[in-house]
Structure 1
Amino acid sequence: MTKPIYLSFVILIIILSGCSGKREINDLAIVMAVGIDKIENPTEGNSEDKGYEVTIEVARPADSRGQTGAPSGGTGDPIWSASSQGETLFEAIRHLASFSTRRVFWAHNYIIVINEDVAREGIKDVIDFFTRNPELRMRTWVAITPNKAKDVISTVTGLEVIPGEALDKLYRYTDISGASPRTELLDVQSAYLSETTQPVIARVRLIERGVSNKKVGQAGAYKQVELEGAGVFKGDKLVGILDRDDSKAAVLFIEKVRSQIVVLSCPKNPEDVLTAEIVHDRFDVTPAYKNGKPSFTVNFKAFVNVVEAGCPFTIEDEEDVRTIEKELERTVKGNIEKLLTKAQKEYKSDFLELGQRFNNKFPSEWKTIKKSWNSTFSDVEFTVNVDAKVKGGVLLYSPTRSGK
């Protein structure tokens, strides 16, 4: 090996082994959650209806081991929350640097919470900023809230030390309840840019639920964050809210549902109720195109278990089983049809990915109707078929009756 080549290798080794791009954790403010609100008290140069208040929740590694027993020099608080204002999101976030002693670091952010007042005016700036940010993951959760977003992300729950982690786990386990869609930043951006689909975003709110462990009998002392339905968008603007039943029906269209429950009247005692759990389902939406008009057939086959009976019930009573199946079919079909009516007539927004399904099956025909899909969607015909089968009563095959 010649001397010049040898020297070149030595220089490369020295350069590549350096740490010029290192970031010490002690120099970073690691963001766990971010909230976006409208400006309440505008600073000089901002009008009341323009600008953002951005709040970040930053983990305090030294104090996040628990609520008590903070190490020497610590405050005992697991998080540090800070807010700043600006005419744009980036300006508001840059203002954080004027009082934060650490560099704001986004790579570990769990969730973006947007106040509904901001969402009604439009979230295109939010989508644009956070999808351009190279540090932020596209799998970050997104939620809207009727409360102040800064209050939601700063609420310390009774189970988790870090509020951002609590919000993350709400989303991770929502497939059990099916109460809200599991919306990620990637989903919101994809729907916003889509020619066929409108965004739908999960909704959270603060509720007084939880028992204080500091004062005896002080129930409801701590507010908690609850998943509560979803927000429907048209373009980038919030146009409507789905309640819990509507949201459960919407999740069938856009996600794979792990479990849902339906409360029904007892077959022989309508005043009493029983609870059926959908443990497996086959949900299919089939588009059709005839005489220049699109249509859809929704087929839902649900397999359920009776998990709680407020009246005597046995799986061997075929008459009772069939009565339960019919009521379940009627209830679920009614919820789906109510959701479709809201989407078509009230919100005029295809947030159920129906245009995408039509495009997948009829790409040529889609080219002729895509420009008018917003108006065409309102008049599309739907046929909804629901078939429910009660498969068991969990571990009880006989009625639960007192032996006295």
Structure 2
Amino acid sequence: MKTKHLFLLISLTLTIFLNGCIGKREINELALVMAVGLDKGKDGKVVVSVQIARPADARGQTGAPAGNTGDPIWSAKAEGKTIFEAIRSLSTFSTRRVFWAHNYIIIINEDLARDGISDIIDFFTRNPELRMRTWVVVTPNKASNILSTMTGLEVISGEAMDKLFRYSSISAQAPRTQMIDLQSAYLSESSEPVLARVKLIKRGISNKKPGQEGSYKQIDLSGAGVFKGDKLVGILGQKETRGLLPFIEKVESGVMAVSCPKEPEQKISLELKHYKFKVTPLYRNGEISFHIKYDTDFSMVEAGCPLSLEDRAQITKLEKQVANELKGNVNNIVSKAQKDFKADILELGKIFNNKYPKEWQQIKNRWDEEFQTAAVKIDVTVNIEDTALLFKPTKTGK
């Protein structure tokens, strides 16, 4: 009993010295950042734009409550010699403390990216409030304009961009690069960073004025930006990006529109269902080469011409046609990486290192030169398995 009483007395004594909620932050005192944009300023300065959620107005109501604007977001920007200086400048007119832990995306203007993003990588990986799973993109538009664009389905546009990338693996139009991927490629001995590219296009349709198509600007996935070191050196279109994606990430699906075998003016839509993409490095007599084996299974989801799986001659011709196009896409991105950008965005150095770690130690300091001259052989096989629900062409009953 004495032991229990002594333990209770010690516990009560210790509670006197405990502080409740050390470092607490009240939600109504924080400005929750949903997205951040970075633009090139004057005289070497950087412009930081932030998109901040309005808690009282982010519930989607059509009318504004008393004392509020009705807008779900508040966008603000500040300029500084460094990113941190610009962010601290926000505190001169923000009535709440800027809080970064809920940030969805970092948007970098291409003019700024061409000058280098090493300071951006350093700041956003060093700050303990920031998550490493934040999306990172480049844009030809001003980043501040991307931030202030209202999207159609989501109340907060930062959240909309997050979902745009979360489900982009089924369209295979842009890489899904997060800050952790950017930092990993930047610090790598061989690989170079690739970021998704977004831009504003006139795509929305007015509900109030029918017929006025393109009356609203929307954020659209538009290929990828290629870096060498920390500098943007080139842009990939959507077709080139589709050739790149199997090298760097898992693709869930994809759509190809190809010409009908007997009626080239008509189109057939094929959906990628399964694939195996394997890159095998070879090192013989001091020569580096790579063998790419790309096996794909497609499903026919739309046919603009009569076509049946029973007609093996047409299906074989179609499979060969698709294989040639896929091989062309891969050949094209390999050529661009080796000759135009001279940057290993394909992660071939990483694959070589995994198989030949001892030999890699001998060539890693000259990998840039070795990568540009490495031979790459590509074999593609295509199998069109089914046509969804229809196994015979759809014909009129007349």
Common fold by TM > 0.5: yes
Map 1:268-347 onto structure 2 (within 5 A).
268-347=262-341
What is the aligned-residue RMSD (CA, Å)? 1.4
State the partner residue of 1:26. Answer: 28
State the partner residue of 1:254. Answer: 248
Q: Deviations over 1:105-159 (max 9, x none)?
A: 0000000000000110000000000000100100000000000011112211111
State the partner residue of 1:169. Answer: 163
Q: SS at the partner of 2:205? A: coil
Give the Å deviation of 1:72.
2.1
- Provide the rounded CA distance (Å) in 1 between the counterparts of 2:54 and 2:21: 25
Structure 2 residue corresponding to 1:227, chosen from 221, 225, 237:
221
State the partner residue of 1:399. Answer: 393
- Provide the rounded CA distance (Å) in 1 between the counterparts of 2:236 and 2:258: 22
Give the Å deviation of 1:8.
4.5
Q: Deviations over 1:22-49 (max 9, x none)?
A: 110000000000000011xx4xxxx2xx
- Provide the rounded CA distance (Å) in 1 between the counterparts of 2:250 and 2:89: 41
Letter in 1 for 2:199: R
Q: SS at the partner of 2:213? A: coil
Structure 2 residue corresponding to 1:196, chosen from 190, 194, 198:
190
- Provide the rounded CA distance (Å) in 1 between the counterparts of 2:104 and 2:95: 22
**Alpha-carbon distance change, 67 to 351 in structure 1, aligned in 2, over 3 angstroms:** farther
Q: How much identity, in percent, do the aligned residues show?
A: 56
Q: Deviations over 1:317-375 (max 9, x none)?
A: 11111011000000000000000000000000001111000000000000111000011
State the partner residue of 2:92. Answer: 98
State the partner residue of 1:58. Answer: 52
Give the Å deviation of 1:283.
0.6
- Provide the rounded CA distance (Å) in 2 between the counterparts of 1:357 and 1:85: 42
Structure 2 residue corresponding to 1:236, chosen from 195, 213, 230:
230
Q: Does 1:78 align with 2:72?
A: yes
- Provide the rounded CA distance (Å) in 1 between the counterparts of 2:257 and 2:278: 23
Structure 2 residue corresponding to 1:160, chosen from 154, 159, 166:
154
- Provide the rounded CA distance (Å) in 2 between the counterparts of 1:247 and 1:185: 19
- Provide the rounded CA distance (Å) in 1 between the counterparts of 2:121 and 2:252: 29
**Alpha-carbon distance change, 317 to 199 in structure 1, aligned in 2, over 3 angstroms:** same
- Provide the rounded CA distance (Å) in 1 between the counterparts of 2:238 and 2:300: 21
Do 1:359 and 1:366's aligned partners in 2 also have CA atoms closer than 8 Å?
A: yes
- Provide the rounded CA distance (Å) in 2 between the counterparts of 1:34 and 1:220: 26
Do 1:283 and 1:299's aligned partners in 2 also have CA atoms closer than 8 Å?
A: yes
Q: SS at the partner of 2:282? A: strand
Q: Does 1:36 align with 2:38?
A: yes
State the partner residue of 1:214. Answer: 208
Do 1:68 and 1:76's aligned partners in 2 also have CA atoms closer than 8 Å?
A: yes
Q: Does 1:9 align with 2:3?
A: no
- Provide the rounded CA distance (Å) in 1 between the counterparts of 2:153 and 2:93: 31
- Provide the rounded CA distance (Å) in 2 between the counterparts of 1:153 and 1:352: 31
Q: SS at the partner of 2:56? A: coil
Runs (5+) with no aligned partner, structure 2: none
- Structure 1 length normalisation: TM-score? 0.96
Q: Does 1:139 align with 2:133?
A: yes
The worse-fitting range, judged by mean Cα deviation, of 3-12 and 84-93 is 3-12
Do 1:30 and 1:58's aligned partners in 2 also have CA atoms closer than 8 Å?
A: yes
Q: SS at the partner of 2:215? A: coil
- Structure 2 length normalisation: TM-score? 0.97
State the partner residue of 1:267. Answer: 261
State the partner residue of 1:182. Answer: 176
- Provide the rounded CA distance (Å) in 1 between the counterparts of 2:194 and 2:392: 43
Give the Å deviation of 1:274.
0.8
Q: Does 1:350 align with 2:328?
A: no
- Provide the rounded CA distance (Å) in 2 between the counterparts of 1:245 and 1:86: 38
- Provide the rounded CA distance (Å) in 2 between the counterparts of 1:177 and 1:96: 37
Runs (5+) with no aligned partner, structure 1: none
Give the Å deviation of 1:214.
2.9
Do 1:67 and 1:78's aligned partners in 2 also have CA atoms closer than 8 Å?
A: no
- Provide the rounded CA distance (Å) in 2 between the counterparts of 1:367 and 1:121: 31
